[in-house]
Amino acid sequence: MAIAALLAGALVPLAALAQGGASRPAARALPGLPSYTAGYASWRRINRAPIPPRRAGDAHLSTKNVYASRRPVGGRYPYGTVIVKEGVRPGSRFVGLIAVMRKVRGASPRNNNWVMIEWVRETRGARFGEIARGQVCYACHVGARANDYVFTR
């Protein structure tokens, strides 16, 4: 019994090593965010330089970077694409805002099937909490319809 437990304990790290797990641990989502956002910072960044806060009516008041899990094909992002915008709000030095578009077949045919949700947190390391989703997002992003609802290009 004790030997079996010891062996099992030894085998798990070996299996992780065999998969290259020791050097590349699986990415984890930031606290409070869904697993489909895990590892977003290693995806392709689609903005050239950090996007500064807009002077008037910034819906995502912060300095932002935008990452996409997939590339568009023929001007449309494929199903399964996740686009994450992270924002560092003025006066702070941590990511306090995460806005996400995820393309799910059949989710919202009138809005190119994007599921749109935004989360914020007030301190570094805190859990993110959802602040808005859906219609309020579509209403503005429809302005980028020519680029599949994505403003950043």
**Site string (68-107) toward ligand HEC, x via CB under 6 A:** ---------------x-x-------------xxx------
Of 121 and 141, the one with the shorter C-beta distance to ligand HEC is: 141
CB of 136 to ligand HEC, least distance (A): 5
CB 100 within 8 A of CB 117: yes
Q: Which of residues 24-53 bind ligand HEC (CB under 6 A)?
A: 51
The DSSP output letter for 90 is: T
Q: Which stretch binds ligand HEC (CB under 6 A): 26-34, 54-62, 72-80, 121-129?
A: 54-62
Q: By CB under 6 A, tell whether 120 contacts ligand HEC.
A: no
Identity of the residue numbered 97: L
Q: By CB under 6 A, tell whether 152 contacts ligand HEC.
A: yes
Show contacts of 85-92: CB within 8 Å, 24+ apart: 85/60, 85/152, 86/40, 86/41, 87/60, 87/61, 87/62, 87/63, 88/62, 88/63, 88/64, 89/61, 89/62, 90/53, 90/61, 90/62, 90/63
Q: Which stretch binds ligand HEC (CB under 6 A): 17-25, 33-41, 103-111, 133-141?
A: 133-141
